[in-house]
Structure 1
Amino acid sequence: MTSLVTEQLSLRQRFADFLAADLQLVNEVLCEQLRSSHRLVSDLSDHVGRFRGKQIRPGLLMLFRRLTQIGSQSVRMPALNAVRLAAAVEMIHTATLVHDDLIDQSDLRRHMATVHSRWDSQTAVLMGDYLFSRAFHLAASTGDAVACQLIGRATDRTCVGELLQKHVRRPDESLTSAQLQSAEVDYFRVIRGKTGCLFGLSCLLGTRSATSSRVLELAAHRYGVRLGMAFQISDDVLDLSQSCQTTGKDARNDLENGRLTLPLIRAFRAASLEERKELAAAVEQNDPLIAELPAMKRGIDSAAATALELGRRAVGDLQRFGETPERGLLEEVSLWAAGQRTA
């Protein structure tokens, strides 16, 4: 386990080091865009700015730009516009975090107070809206109408994914096999929207900033969607099996909000009648030891295997690109996202 964690930390550091110059430019644009003469807006912007972690979405955009422009005869978009689009994607992602934390009534985000817990619910709603508006304004400044359409479509699908998730059925022992099968279909629809779309958008925007090849654009988009879905499944596994000290977020948040995530769906599908009763009781009580139940262990293993398969398929999507250090890093990222990562 220690060697795995060390390997994960090493990959995250290499990702950050590899893209240090690009992400510095992205962060400079973010600071410029969120600077305000209003004290409250400035304080809020500073606070949500600390939610930035690995910055994987803007990192993917810049990484795919670098990967695609290698050997390219001409670059489709100036570097500054690519940086602006990367910053816009990061602002959209941050806006969804602010709203998600409010919906879930989560008090922690990266070991810090969430916006609604430090200020109030109305402030969190308005701050998320402000981030969305700044992101769309920034994207429009590039003059790229197609990029703006792509950003709008991905944001739309992200919001739909969140809406669908809000109205999925709560897990209980009365769920039939058909209902569980339907719940799994709904789950994949949700995570494709709420997570996969922004990952796919990042990879697509990065690729089209450097080439007009539709083949490469589609391959990059597929990679991003699969990566995002693997990332979300892994996150749902962590929600059940890790503490808030590890993840930096409220533990078992999905349980508390009655969400049927893939580990739970698979656990209920494979459970005996007696195990279903145990699972239902653990869900109802938000039991911190739920991951120790035999049925839950099987559900977690099954979900983790699905995440790994998605990660492997994402690696396959990179075959259209040349063998470069950028591609090698992307291959590692896809398998890291699908594994038992730390937050």
Structure 2
Amino acid sequence: MLNTVSRYYFSASGKHIRPLLVMLMAQATSVATKRQGRTSILVDSDVDRIDYSLMDRSVTQNIHSDGESRRVNQLIESATRDGHGGRPYAPHVKEGLTILPTHRRLAEITEMIHTSSLLHDDVIDHAETRRGLPAIQKTFGNKMAIFAGDFLLARASMALARLRDPEVIEIMASVLSDLVDGEFKQLKNLEDDDAPMAQPDERAFNYYLEKTYLKTGSLIAKSCRSSAILSNSTDDVVEAAYIYGRNLGIAFQLIDDLLDFTVSAAELGKPVGADLELGLATAPVLYAWQEYAQLGPLVARKFSQEGDVAMAWDLVHKSEGLQRTKQLASHYMERAIEALAILPASSARDALEHVTLSVLTRTK
């Protein structure tokens, strides 16, 4: 049952943009300058000498603490024997660009963390649908949805630890803290409950953008950074990968907030206007509020009174809020593309640019 519930959203057609970015960043940084003196046992200038099956070994080859570990290790040994060619743990090389087995595992971990957050979010938000399916708690109940989210986080944490790279483990573990921090920030629309209600000030926008980074940008940014680290990239390349992911992540969420006002539920795969129903003041609302002061009291009471949601919806569409949100997303998109300039020219870098540009035109 736990496996069935945990796989529920994986069976639907998601965007899979996070694992895609990990893989493309792996290829793009595989031909960039390399760092010297790293201590990870899965880093070596000659990748053919590395036993990547260590990623799946729960214990050392000589110690079997329980029957399950023994069976797992036997499966790994069977998969890597002569005759199988070691394919499950072989680097993928195409056009001189390399994706290591550790990159593939990081891509899986990233999607598992993202999906676990969806399971928890849908319970918290009382969601009706997700990816065109009934929300998980509608099918299995709140308890099973929460347990499944916890289970995915646990499995992702185990897989992360087995990458045996302390730097990557620390970076990706901090994502979990960011997700929780972002969820708490989302409970309030403004940092200061006593903030002036005439119109949103700079602090209100900064608070919104910080929440956006924590809930969406952090996972994208830090998984891109970790991908560059697994490529053994120099510090400047690693930092550029992070800057790229951070700006792309914020742009991605800005467009997500815009789509909540502009596309149909069938296109989006979840109800439109959901943010207003949850009492959230996203970028389109904040910009509209600058034009229509009457939005202030609605934001303050989180659109809780009858007619608040409909009024806010109308004012957002009358204002320049949607246009200005797209312009802000375009600004972050341009900063993301600028960060890629440090990487050598390659088909992977071109693909990263293409993914970034497609963020502005997506409809789901």
Give the TM-score band, short-chain normalised.
0.7 to 0.9
CA distance in structure 2 between the aligned counterparts of 1:123 and 1:241, rounded to whole angstroms: 33
Aligned 8 A contact 1:270 1:295 in 2 = no
Q: Which of 119, 123, 136 is the aligned partner of 1:102?
A: 123
Which amino acid is 1:49 matched to?
Answer: F
The equivalent residue for 2:188 is: 167
Aligned pairs, number: 300
Does the C-alpha gap of structure 1 residues 296 and 182 become closer, same or farther in structure 2, counting only changes over 3 Å? farther
SS at match of 1:182: helix
Residue by residue, what CA displacement relative to the aligned partner does 1:125-159 show, whole Å, maximum 9, x if unpaired? Answer: 11111110000001111211221111111221122
TM-score using structure 2 length: 0.75
Q: Which has the larger radius of gyration?
A: 2
Matched, 1:312 2:319: no
Does the C-alpha gap of structure 1 residues 296 and 138 become closer, same or farther in structure 2, counting only changes over 3 Å? farther
RMSD, aligned α-carbons: 2.8
Which amino acid is 2:121 matched to?
Answer: D
Residue by residue, what CA displacement relative to the aligned partner does 1:250-296 show, whole Å, maximum 9, x if unpaired? Answer: 211110011011110010012265x8789999955365696554765
Q: Which of 132, 151, 168 is the aligned partner of 1:147?
A: 168
Matched, 1:327 2:349: yes
Give the structure with the higher percent helix.
1
Q: Which moved more, 1:290-299 or 1:250-259?
A: 290-299
CA distance in structure 2 between the aligned counterparts of 1:335 and 1:177, rounded to whole angstroms: 35
The equivalent residue for 2:111 is: 90
Q: CA deviation at 1:46?
A: 2.9
Which amino acid is 1:309 matched to?
Answer: H
TM-score using structure 1 length: 0.79
CA distance in structure 2 between the aligned counterparts of 1:42 and 1:279, rounded to whole angstroms: 40
Aligned 8 A contact 2:200 2:289 in 1 = no
Aligned 8 A contact 1:48 1:94 in 2 = yes
Q: CA deviation at 1:104?
A: 0.9
The equivalent residue for 1:302 is: 324
Aligned 8 A contact 1:51 1:94 in 2 = no
SS at match of 1:142: coil
Aligned 8 A contact 2:221 2:246 in 1 = yes
**Identity of matched residues, %:** 28
Q: Which of 132, 135, 138 is the aligned partner of 2:156?
A: 135
Which amino acid is 1:128 matched to?
Answer: G
Consecutive unaligned residues of structure 1, counting only runs of 5 or more, are 1-39
Aligned 8 A contact 2:292 2:315 in 1 = no
Q: CA deviation at 1:100?
A: 0.9
Q: CA deviation at 1:331?
A: 1.1
The equivalent residue for 1:62 is: 23
SS at match of 2:258: helix
Q: Which moved more, 1:220-229 or 1:119-128?
A: 119-128
